[in-house]
Structure 1
Amino acid sequence: MKFKNIQEEKKYYEQEASQEEFLKWYKHQDLPTYEKPSVTVDNVILGWQDEQIKLLLIQRKANPFKGKYALPGGFVDKNEDTLEAVIREVKEEVSIQLDSDCIEQLKTIATPNRDPRTWVITVAHLTYLPCMSQVQIVASDDAKEVEWVSLAVNKAGQIKLDGKHGLIDLNQLAFDHEEIIKEAVIRIKNRLNYAPTILKILGSTFTLTDARKVYSKFLGLSLEELDNSNFRKTQGKFFEELGFETKPTKGRPKKIYRLK
């Protein structure tokens, strides 16, 4: 079939041809006219150990940003869902098998030039890793080293990362991972008063004291400032009481709860 111009051809295949004919035409005629970004995933993985919020960071083995701290992640494979990519990349880079129930999508970032290699859109995720003390991390693939660093937020909302070699400057993280971590913290703080999913890092059950400790790390408050009786009154509606500990670590058994 001959057409007077490209506009007439385009109109025919979009409005008159069958879908099969349209898709065949589109693949060879229209698709090449569009820019094609690459897609990656990045993952803010949080845990709880020694009464500290822990964030998993890798140290990049190769360029770009060789030697810089970064979040685990990588390129999405052909015909792969971003959630599948998150699970695969974390397994490849740090040898952790994630449960999809502990992962939520955080934000899509398409800022031009965020990756010096090419146009890359990333889909950032947030993962709550329960019982992280039972998880063994091993650096592989793009990771030279892997490390759990302590994360705390002060009253002004400023984030502090403390690694094994001292404080880590957020401005020195690879790519725009500083922005992604800040987005994760904002989401967690905003949800504390209606959906405190961050408590998943404590495991399937927890005590109110442990819950208060987690809250305190994101609010920049001491346990004394986060009064126990008031906490129970304002936050208790999100928890289901299950009874008492069967094997208390010390002292009298405490009541245990789970998220509703």
Structure 2
Amino acid sequence: MDRYRPAEYPPFAVTVDLVILTVRDDTMRVLVIERAGPPFQGRWALPGGFVRPDEDLRQAATRELVEETGLTTDIHLEQLGSYGAPDRDPRMRVVTVAYLALAADLPSPVAGTDASAARWAPTADLVAEPDALAFDHREILNDGIERARAKLEYTPLATAFCGPEFTVAELRRIYEIVWDVRLDPRNFHRKVTGAPGFVEPTGRTSTRDGGRPAQLYRRGPASLLHPPMLRMP
């Protein structure tokens, strides 16, 4: 049984950090901001900040999304995990709750008051460089990427990276970019159109993929994919 009295606990703070993923220029990218002040001044970091006393975690995540980046688009947002290593923040004991956001065609970000700059950085570059991000944000980014990859297997979340209407080839390219693999077009088409509720035809076609007109689809009503779209080893 914990015998400590409340007054004996050291002070600590709660923050939220955001892993915001999108696909731009045929590359999976994450939103990062350049820190305007200490600690890690001038270093790139995930957007985020302290939770205010009058807000819950999701409210804080949404507020930070707007304040630090200027992004107001309604995007998929889910809690990713919590991170509480004692030395993760040199200012004081800070526990952070990370959120994962996925969206298509997000605009160029605008740095907020706590940032000198904001940009969409290729995730592969940040993951490959141990010191590319401040704090423990590289670990959080890795977890966010893996969550996104896993959710593409058993949910229709890949459509979050597409526009309202898309071709099967465009959806396949999302899977290839996020999973970093090449997929067989015919096999992928069979799996996508054979999964109940994954996608549904709009009745329209498009020639933006080149070649013959391709059928346009939109996200269907399914929340889980059966059978799942399993990654190849």
TM tier relative to shorter chain: 0.7 to 0.9
Offset from partner CA, 1:101-122 (integer Å, 9 cap, x none) = 5111111111211111111010
Q: Name structure 1 gaps, 5 residues minimum.
A: 1-29, 152-159
The separation in 2 between residues aligned to 1:102 and 1:186, in whole angstroms, is 16
Deviation at 1:168, TM superposition (A): 7.0
The separation in 1 between residues aligned to 2:218 and 2:26, in whole angstroms, is 18
Q: What's the TM-score, normalizing by structure 1?
A: 0.74
Deviates most, 31-40 or 117-126 = 31-40
The separation in 2 between residues aligned to 1:147 and 1:192, in whole angstroms, is 25
Match of 1:80 in 2: 55
Offset from partner CA, 1:158-179 (integer Å, 9 cap, x none) = xx127xxxx9724331001111
- Code of the aligned partner of 1:200: A
- Code of the aligned partner of 1:97: T
Quickly say closer, same or farther: Cα 1:35–1:258, change in 2 above 3 A. farther
Match of 2:190 in 1: 233
2:98 matches 1:128: no
Which residues in structure 2 correspond to 1:178-193 (within 5 Å)?
178-193=138-153
Match of 1:5 in 2: none
Deviation at 1:142, TM superposition (A): 1.4
More helix by share: 1
The separation in 1 between residues aligned to 2:118 and 2:200, in whole angstroms, is 36
The separation in 1 between residues aligned to 2:173 and 2:101, in whole angstroms, is 19
SS at match of 1:171: coil
Contact 2:161–2:174 under 8 Å retained in 1: no
Quickly say closer, same or farther: Cα 1:219–1:137, change in 2 above 3 A. closer
Contact 2:167–2:216 under 8 Å retained in 1: yes
Q: Name structure 2 gaps, 5 residues minimum.
A: 221-233
From the CA coordinates, give the structure whose radius of gyration is larger. Answer: 1
SS at match of 1:117: coil
Instruction: Kindly report the root-mean-square deviation, in angstroms, between the aligned alpha carbons of the 2 structures.
Output: 2.4
**Given the alignment, which residue of 63, 76, 85 partners 1:102?**
76
Q: How many residues align?
A: 214
Contact 2:16–2:50 under 8 Å retained in 1: yes
SS at match of 1:256: strand
Match of 2:224 in 1: none
Deviation at 1:98, TM superposition (A): 4.1
Match of 1:62 in 2: 37
The separation in 2 between residues aligned to 1:116 and 1:37, in whole angstroms, is 12
Deviation at 1:76, TM superposition (A): 0.6
